[in-house]
């Protein structure tokens, strides 16, 4: 199974300006244009909320802070919180 392609921001090596522009347009077409939102379950859980803020900061630095990823990131934060609670037991 091949690796997914890298984003334009993380490309290394020689690329022409036209190739970079085409990749940027293709990436922008996949975005919804809405910011990633935090679910109420995550917001009410202290550990999950802290993890969401951390991940959101990382995603925004890579220009991936899009609502398309909200469900996955929120689920990850809830699982992270549950694992921390289980470790305390």
Cα separations in angstroms, 22 against 7, 9, 19, 32, 83 = 12, 13, 5, 18, 42
In terms of pLDDT, which residue wins out, 11 or 17?
A: 17
Confidence of residue 30 (pLDDT cuts 50, 70, 90): confident
Of residues 74 and 3, the one with the higher pLDDT is: 74
Helices then strands, counting H and E runs in the chain, come out as: 4, 0
Torsion of the alpha carbons at 29, 32, 35 and 36, rounded to the nearest 10: -110
d(Cα 1, Cα 48) in Å, to the nearest integer?
32
Q: How confident is residue 87, by pLDDT bands cut at 50, 70 and 90?
A: very high
Per-residue pLDDT of 48-84, as tens digits, reads 999 999 999 999 988 788 888 899 999 999 999 999 9
Q: Over 80: is that where the pLDDT of 9 sits? A: no
């Amino acid at each position: 199974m091949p690796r997914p392609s890298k984003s334009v921001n993380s490309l290394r090596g020689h690329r022409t300006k036209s190739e970079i522009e085409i990749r940027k347009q293709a990436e922008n077409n996949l975005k919804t244009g809405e910011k990633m939102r935090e679910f109420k379950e995550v917001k009410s859980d202290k550990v999950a909320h802290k993890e969401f803020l951390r991940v959101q900061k990382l995603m925004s630095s890579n220009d991936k802070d899009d609502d398309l990823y909200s469900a996955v990131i929120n689920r990850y934060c809830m699982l992270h919180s549950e694992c921390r609670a289980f470790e305390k037991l």
